[in-house]
């Protein structure tokens, strides 16, 4: 793990605070992009941050969990990936698998399904 830099609205809490980052920070960033792609809204606005500290996780949870534009399975996958604690976030593969299920892909077409051929 190493200290990271990144784009404000897509940085994991530990990254925004200048802490060590690893794969869970990547999962956070992917979830932010998924949220924006699915809703057309950034997960956070820089204006949310009057004190130049990381925006409240409660604001994001409110935005994601109550966003009626998201199918419930996709909202659940994004919510899990935006967990406050890095250890509570799914792996990249688990997030991918959850998104495949949320998209309704048949098992034979799921890249991350158990037993899928490595490509």
Q: Strand, coil or helix: what is 3?
A: strand
In a domain, residue 118? The reply is no
**Which two three-digit tokens encode residue 113?**
């399904």
* Domain region containing 86: 2-109
d(CA 78, CA 93): 13
Encoded tokens for 1 = 């793990």
Q: Give domain status of residue 116, yes or no.
A: no
Question: 102 in a domain, yes or no?
Answer: yes
What's the pLDDT score for residue 22? Answer: 92
Q: Do residues 22 and 4 touch, judged by C-beta distance below 8 A?
A: no
The single-letter DSSP state of residue 53 is S
pLDDT at 119: 42
Q: Residue 87 is part of a domain; what is its CATH number?
A: 1.10.510.10
| pTM score, whole prediction | 0.74
Q: 59-80, pLDDT tens digit by residue?
A: 555 555 556 677 888 888 888 8
Provide the domain count of the chain. 1
In this predicted structure, what is the pLDDT of residue 89? 94
- Does some domain include residue 119? no
């Amino acid at each position: 793990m190493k200290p990271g830099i990144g784009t404000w609205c897509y940085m994991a809490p530990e990254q925004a605070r200048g802490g060590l980052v690893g794969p869970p920070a990547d999962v956070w960033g992917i979830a932010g992009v998924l949220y924006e792609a699915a809703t057309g809204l950034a997960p956070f606005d820089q204006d949310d941050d009057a004190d130049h500290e990381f925006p409240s996780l409660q604001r994001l949870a409110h935005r994601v969990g109550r966003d009626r534009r998201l199918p419930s399975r996709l909202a659940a996958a994004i919510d899990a990936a935006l967990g406050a604690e890095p250890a509570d976030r799914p792996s990249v593969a688990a997030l991918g698998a959850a998104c495949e299920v949320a998209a309704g892909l048949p098992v034979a077409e799921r890249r991350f399904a158990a037993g899928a051929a490595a490509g």
